[in-house]
């Protein structure tokens, strides 16, 4: 996840690209931020018009009408509104969004109570593009009423996607939360932005924007809460960067973080092998051995079934790609600027997390994140005094536990939220 000047960047990038090309004919699709690609196993030229420039990066999936008189209370219509960072691949200059688009965008923050027969309608001017960096989702107006419903409507769940994830891949998770009355924001890094990552560059500017947006929402009214749900090491590291930004803003935001759910992570060290496995899985998607997890064979002759795990082996071309990527990241992760940045974020996640409950969902069959790394980190967090829960799904692949075990996954989330985040909902 780094930017390399001159002689280092081109040969390493070319070498990785050649290896990928031997096993995947659609590799160019991974680098184009707007071209559709096949969804993961989980669940699915010239400047544009001014009204589209902002929503090319940010949109909401649900919308409800607001009195135009409320526009005066909308902080995003103030002159000091920040400029939208621009992808280095777009060639579009930054521009402040038009007021109609901003008015529509900000509706996620209003705790209105629309009638149950009122439909959410998205104006054509701010229709969501095929891929954005983050998107706000409003709670289902039919999710319930009463004290528990109010508490949920004042809770924002932030879903931080895995490497290569797109908004459609997080849709199933977002719908799980919104159907229960939560506000949700889904955040993903386009692969192009990850590959061109530079310390202090555009990717971190986009995270600044998200951090400021979350901070403004949660602090504008007492009683609001944040819950983070991260996927793989990419989502977990993104969470660390956001925590770093919240700490710089003072204790008001950190104290509003009431829970963290970690799916298929972490590895709390800059391990080249883990990074190689993650990028290989992102490039190859369903063709990768990481998407297959482990096969299980059961002996029905025993009263308690015993499963024998059988590892699938990567194809020769994928094995070659893993070797190339591992050598690549041995160089990348030891570059002074990258190494220092990772060290700071990993140190924060290891020893300076908020004092909120944590839930880790992972699998012994994960071919990207070693189970020993997850369990050792869990033990360190428990020794540090954190309230930690964990569930090993045993045979599901990387970030694919919800699809393979929907009932168990849902029960883990429900129990965690009711016991640790919203105890008022436990008996409702």
CB 363 within 8 A of CB 371: yes
pLDDT value at position 120?
A: 41
Cβ neighbours of residue 423 closer than 8 Å, sequence gap 6 or more:
none
Please give the model's pTM, rounded to 2 decimal places.
0.70
Q: What is the CATH number of the domain that holds 408?
A: 3.40.50.1820
Helices (H) and strands (E) in the chain, counts: 16, 10
pLDDT value at position 313?
A: 67
pLDDT value at position 54?
A: 36
- Tokens standing for residue 67: 């009195």
Kindly state whether residue 294 falls inside one of the protein's structural domains: no
Kindly state whether residue 326 falls inside one of the protein's structural domains: yes
Kindly state whether residue 175 falls inside one of the protein's structural domains: yes
10-residue mean pLDDT series, the chain (428 residues): 42 44 39 40 42 36 35 36 36 31 40 40 40 85 86 96 93 97 93 72 84 94 95 96 92 94 96 92 78 49 35 76 93 92 95 95 94 97 97 95 96 96 83
Please give the residue range of the domain that contains residue 98: 6-289+312-425
Instruction: Report the sign of the C-alpha dihedral through residues 4, 93, 106, 49, in that order.
Output: negative
- Tokens standing for residue 373: 């790394």
Cβ neighbours of residue 286 closer than 8 Å, sequence gap 6 or more:
38, 40, 41
Kindly state whether residue 211 falls inside one of the protein's structural domains: yes
pLDDT value at position 307?
A: 36
Give Rg (Cα) of the chain. Answer: 22
User: What SS3 class is residue 362?
Assistant: strand
pLDDT value at position 426?
A: 80
pLDDT value at position 132?
A: 65
Q: Per the structure, how many domains does the chain have?
A: 1
pLDDT value at position 192?
A: 75
Kindly state whether residue 305 falls inside one of the protein's structural domains: no
User: What SS3 class is residue 402?
Assistant: helix
pLDDT value at position 294?
A: 55
- Tokens standing for residue 285: 């998607």
pLDDT value at position 23?
A: 37
Residues making up the chain, counted from first to last: 428
Kindly state whether residue 253 falls inside one of the protein's structural domains: yes
Q: Which residue is it, tokens 């990785």?
A: 16
Kindly state whether residue 85 falls inside one of the protein's structural domains: yes
Instruction: Report the sign of the C-alpha dihedral through residues 423, 217, 115, 177, in that order.
Output: negative
Cβ neighbours of residue 414 closer than 8 Å, sequence gap 6 or more:
none
Kindly state whether residue 299 falls inside one of the protein's structural domains: no
* C-alpha to C-alpha distances, 231 to 1, 239, 425, nearest whole angstrom: 17, 10, 26
Tell me the backbone φ, ψ of residue 300, rounded to 5 degrees: -70, -5
């Amino acid at each position: 996840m780094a930017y390399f000047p001159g002689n280092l960047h081109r040969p390493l990038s070319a070498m990785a690209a050649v290896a990928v090309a031997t096993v995947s004919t659609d590799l160019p699709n991974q680098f184009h931020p707007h071209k559709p690609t096949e969804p993961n196993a989980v669940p699915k030229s010239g400047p544009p018009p001014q009204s589209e420039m902002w929503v090319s990066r940010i949109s909401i999936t649900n919308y409800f009408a607001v009195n135009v008189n409320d526009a005066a209370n909308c902080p995003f219509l103030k002159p000091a509104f920040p400029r939208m960072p621009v992808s280095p691949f777009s060639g579009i200059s930054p521009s402040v969004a038009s007021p109609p688009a901003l008015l529509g965008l900000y509706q996620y923050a209003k705790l209105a109570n629309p009638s149950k027969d009122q439909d959410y309608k998205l104006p054509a001017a701010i229709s969501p593009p095929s891929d954005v960096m983050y998107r706000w989702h409003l709670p289902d107006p039919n999710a319930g009423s009463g004290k528990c419903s109010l508490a949920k409507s004042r809770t924002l769940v932030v879903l931080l996607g895995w490497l290569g994830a797109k908004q459609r891949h997080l849709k199933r998770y977002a719908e799980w939360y919104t159907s229960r009355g939560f506000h949700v924001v889904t955040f993903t890094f386009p692969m192009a932005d990850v590959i061109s990552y530079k310390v202090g560059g555009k990717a971190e500017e986009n995270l600044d924007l998200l951090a400021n947006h979350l901070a403004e929402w949660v602090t504008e009214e007492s009683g609001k809460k944040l819950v983070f749900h991260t996927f793989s090491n990419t989502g977990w590291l993104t969470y660390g960067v956001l925590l770093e930004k919240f700490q710089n803003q003072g204790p008001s935001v950190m104290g509003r973080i009431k829970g963290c759910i970690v799916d298929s992570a972490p590895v709390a060290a800059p391990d080249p092998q883990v990074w190689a496995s993650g990028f290989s899985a992102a490039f190859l998607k369903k063709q990768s051995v990481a998407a297959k997890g482990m096969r299980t064979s059961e002996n029905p002759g025993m009263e308690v079934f015993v499963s024998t795990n059988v590892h699938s082996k990567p194809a020769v071309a994928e094995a070659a790609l893993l070797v190339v990527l591992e050598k690549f990241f041995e160089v990348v992760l030891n570059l002074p600027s990258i190494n220092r940045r990772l060290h700071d974020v990993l140190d924060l996640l290891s020893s300076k997390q908020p004092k909120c409950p944590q839930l880790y969902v992972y699998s012994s069959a994960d071919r990207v994140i070693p189970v020993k790394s997850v369990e050792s980190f869990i033990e360190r967090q428990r020794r540090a005094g954190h309230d930690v829960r964990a569930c090993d799904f045993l045979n599901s692949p990387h970030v694919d536990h919800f699809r393979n075990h929907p009932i168990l996954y849902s029960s883990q989330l429900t129990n965690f939220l009711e016991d640790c985040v919203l105890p008022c909902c436990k008996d409702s």
